[in-house]
Chain A
Amino acid sequence: MPRKTTPRQDLTRGVWRENPVLIQMLGLCPALAVTNTVVNAIAMGLATFFVLFFSSLLVATFKRLIPSEVRISAYILIIATFVTIVDMTLEAVVPEIHKALGAFIALIVVNCIILGRQEAFASKNTVPRALLDAVGTGFGFIIALLLMGGIREIFGYGSFLGFPLFGANYEPWIIFILPPGGFFTIGFILLALNWWQRRQEERAKAAELAEVAVGRAA
């Protein structure tokens, strides 16, 4: 059942509180596979954002025309169309980046985030709200990819967006741009998130206890 949310929540929840990658653990494949540099991460983030935005637009617009029996096929058809468009456009405009991302652009089709948002939100809400949700979720995805790409490029190449950071003496930690580095980076990010969350909880509990103590003293 769709919960009642305000338009503001539609926009913001995907960015951080329900971040598709870091919290919901969706779309992991691109988040790990093409985040060895910041440029690749941005390209993948924007491509996914584009597909998500236009798929949500179409699905929300035509939701009454799509019978529920074939809705999944219809969503996949819509998503695959936009992914093919992105794929061909990237190849024509920025062929170098297209080569670096390879088949992973086409694999946006099976990114659970996009189909998930259509099924869970765009097909049940008005067009403006579906777009707000798509923008929020898309930004959340880009933020997660940037975080991964930033960490991996800074350690793995000693640079950010191609600009060297540490001077010539820096010996890059190559492991960060290799596949294991992807797993380690997201593992450490999750560790940090867990630690932060637990600290928040403990603080809240401590504050509650203090309040109780003050109440007793009074």
Chain B
Amino acid sequence: MMGNLLWIFVSAMVVNNFTLAYFLGLCPFMGVSGKIYTALRMGAANIFVLTVASLCAWFLNTVILPHAPFLRLISFILVIASAVQITEMVIKKVSPALFRALGIYLPLITTNCAILGMALFQTNRGYGFLEGIFFAWGAGAGLTLALVLMASIRETLELANVPEVAKGNAIVFLIAGMLSLAFMGFAGLLSS
């Protein structure tokens, strides 16, 4: 059991990294990977939302959707969006400090494809409650890792002499390709 959970976590984090192997959450990856500090906060907000989404998906999958599988997509997207909004309000009341830290990122993330992607993968693989949570944490840690790596490279890149034609998105994609290539080295890490 423990080994299985560990595999789910590590697989989602590095072997099948959400951003670098599944291309999920590319918008924040391209958009807010300029500074390490922002990348870290974005990652933390992601882990939080992913956990909420995993709980919602598990609840819907066990309680409602066996009777109406065709409502999966609609209920996932609506329930996850509302759940995140409600938790956002709760955090605002309970811990203003945490709210300021995650702040503007929460509503942004809700419609991010990594969140729905995680919920769908969790469903397709038939993960239970604990498995789902570990999958969400692994995915969140993976997103954070990719974001922070990218941000640290881009901070260095500002001092580098990038060819004029490669400036902007082109160089970011090429670097992402190299990171993705490096992450392929993690394959086979935990196989039996």
So, do A and B actually touch in the complex, CB under 8 Å? yes
Q: Mark B125-164, 1 if CB is under 8 A from A, else 0.
A: 0000000000000000000000000000000000000001
A interface, by DSSP: helix, strand, loop or mixed?
Answer: helix
Q: How far is the CB of B169 from chain A (nearest CB, A)?
A: 6
**Smallest CB gap from B174: residue in A:** A187
B residues 23-73 near A (Cβ < 8 Å) are 23-24, 26-27, 30, 70, 72-73
Q: Is there a chain A Cβ closer than 8 Å to B181's Cβ?
A: yes
Residues of A within 8 A of B21 (CB): 179
Alpha-carbon gap, A25 to B31, bound state (A): 10
Chain B residue total in the interface (Cβ 8 A):
39
Could you tell me if B74 and A81 are in contact, using CB atoms closer than 8 angstroms?
Answer: yes
Q: Mark B97-122, 1 if CB is under 8 A from A, else 0.
A: 00000000000000111001100110
B interface, by DSSP: helix, strand, loop or mixed?
Answer: helix
Could you tell me if A103 and B74 are in contact, using CB atoms closer than 8 angstroms?
Answer: no
Q: How far is the CB of B13 from chain A (nearest CB, A)?
A: 15
**Smallest CB gap from A193: residue in B:** B170
Q: How far is the CB of B119 from chain A (nearest CB, A)?
A: 9
Alpha-carbon gap, A109 to B22, bound state (A): 16
Alpha-carbon gap, A184 to B174, bound state (A): 5
Could you tell me if B177 and A25 are in contact, using CB atoms closer than 8 angstroms?
Answer: no
Q: How far is the CB of A126 from chain B (nearest CB, A)?
A: 27
A residues 66-105 near B (Cβ < 8 Å) are 73, 76-77, 80-81, 83-84, 87-88, 102-103
Could you tell me if A107 and B178 are in contact, using CB atoms closer than 8 angstroms?
Answer: no
Residues of B within 8 A of A131 (CB): none
**Smallest CB gap from A104: residue in B:** B117
Alpha-carbon gap, A213 to B85, bound state (A): 63
Could you tell me if A182 and B169 are in contact, using CB atoms closer than 8 angstroms?
Answer: no
Residues of B within 8 A of A76 (CB): 77-78, 81
Q: Which residues of B contact A (CB under 8 A)?
A: 20-24, 26-27, 30, 70, 72-74, 77-78, 81, 111-113, 116-117, 120-121, 124, 164-171, 173-174, 176-178, 180-181, 184
The 7 lowest CB-CB distance pairs between A and B, nearest first, are A183-B177, A187-B173, A190-B170, A187-B174, A180-B180, A184-B177, A103-B120
